[in-house]
Amino acid sequence: MSTEKIVLTPIGFVKTDAVGDEVRDRSRTSKIIVNSEFAEALDGISSYSHLFVLFWLNQIKDDERKTLKVHPRGKTDLPLSGVFAVRTMLRPNPIGLTIVEIVDVHSNVLTIRGLDAYDGTPVLDIKPYDPWDVVENPKVPSWWKRLKKEKRMS
Amino acid sequence: MSTEKIVLTPIGFVKTDAVGDEVRDRSRTSKIIVNSEFAEALDGISSYSHLFVLFWLNQIKDDERKTLKVHPRGKTDLPLSGVFAVRTMLRPNPIGLTIVEIVDVHSNVLTIRGLDAYDGTPVLDIKPYDPWDVVENPKVPSWWKRLKKEKRMS
């Protein structure tokens, strides 16, 4: 196995008015401003309804990348879990992954719904979502289902 | 926007007997050998049925990262499309993303079904798949549906 370091360069960045927890509101729209040199790489994207957005969690400090276990959403009543078993931002390689709905595409600007990333977040990649990405009834831990239920009721 | 480079380190690698096009066979199982220092980060992962695997497409040369458009699957009868509108390996940041089924978890070794990555591929991140990742009837281009149909019939 190669041990060489992997170097990435952002292909654009996120533009949003949402601050703090507002970014978690899935009904919100935000924008991805793709660097103009990559505008052509968006050709054909409006034939899809949904995208994967990979982004760099640039607020995570180097020290935090060493975290191995967390309580989901920081809730100490939920079981301490490995970072690969939770969608926490604290991970060895802090890459965010979110599925978003395409609202509009105009030149190098994508307007999307559901991206939980802060203003100025560097975007690493954009990939189309297709029917192979749909899992029927994925199994999740019981704490996940409890958390979703509570959220719906609050 | 920060223009600093982003540096990643593999958290493990892929182990498979599949060679060439065999890696595309979704019924095949393969393994992810997680570096032992991250073994704890897998705790709780067996409560899920499916995972996202992010991996580094280390066969892509620096020059190929400049590609902006491709014919899907290299088929010239399919429309030339931007690389962000296709799941091609040729992308500015060649990160692979595949949804896999968990078959077995044992210490730092994950046995999974459906990973289309070659033997020795560096793995960057593992994330659990949950019901928020399910899109009902995602829209895709007509060439995508044609390709899937042909595949089923061949």
CB atoms within 10 A of CB A24: 11
A122 and B48 in contact by Cβ < 8 A?
Answer: no
* Eight-class DSSP state of B72: G
pLDDT for the residue numbered B149:
86
Q: What is the pLDDT of residues A31-63, one digit of tens each?
A: 999 999 999 999 999 999 999 999 999 999 999
Element (H, E) at B146: helix B142-153
The pLDDT > 70 percentage for chain B reads 95
**Residue B151 or A87, more confident:** A87
Mean pLDDT of chain A: 94
Which of A50, A128, A139 is opposite residue B85, by nearest beta carbon?
Answer: A128
By Cβ distance, the residue of A93, A138, A148 closest to B50 is A138
Question: How many CB pairs below 8 Å do chains A and B form together?
Answer: 229
Numbers of helices and strands, H then E, in chain A: 1, 9
Which among A14, A53, A3, A140 has a CA at the least distance from the CA of B46?
A140
> What type of residue sits at position A21?
D
Of A2-16, A67-81, A89-103, A106-120, the range with the lowest mean pLDDT is: A2-16
Q: Is the pLDDT of residue A153 over 60?
A: no
Q: How far apart are CA B3 and CA B23, in angstroms?
A: 35
Cα gap A111→A95, rounded to integer Å: 21
Select from A6, A82, A130 the Cβ nearest to the Cβ of B44.
A82
Strands B81-82 and B69-70: antiparallel
pTM of the model: 0.95
The pLDDT confidence band at residue A120, using thresholds 50, 70 and 90, is very high
Span B29-51, average pLDDT:
98
CB contact under 8 A, B48 and A139: yes
Better pLDDT: A149 or B101: B101
Q: Using one digit for the tens of pLDDT, what is the confidence trace for B70-117?
A: 999 999 999 999 999 999 999 999 999 999 999 999 999 999 999 999
B41/A92 Cα distance (integer angstroms): 10
Whether the pLDDT of residue B150 is over 50: the answer is yes
pLDDT of residue B68: 97
B contacts of A86 (beta carbons < 8 Å): 44, 128
- Interval B9-36 mean pLDDT: 95
Phi-psi region of A126 (alpha: psi -120 to 50; beta: other; left: phi over 0): beta
Give the pLDDT score at B1. 46
Q: Report CA-CA distances (Å) from A122 to A115, B18, B125.
A: 13, 35, 18
Residue B65 has pLDDT above 60, yes or no: yes
Q: What pLDDT sits at residue B5?
A: 77
The region, left, alpha or beta by phi > 0 then psi within -120 to 50, assigned to residue B77 is alpha
Band (pLDDT 50/70/90 cuts) for residue A149 is confident
Q: Which one of A3, A4, A6, A119 makes the best mutation probe of the B interface by having the most chain B beta carbons within 10 Å?
A: A6
Is residue A1 predicted with pLDDT exceeding 80?
A: no
Please identify which residue in the block is written with the tokens 């034939």: A47
Say if the Cβ atoms of A43 and B2 lie within 8 Å. Answer: no
CA distance B140 to A66: 39
Helix or strand (DSSP H, E) at B115: none
Q: What is the pLDDT of residue A5?
A: 77
Averaged pLDDT, B114-122: 97
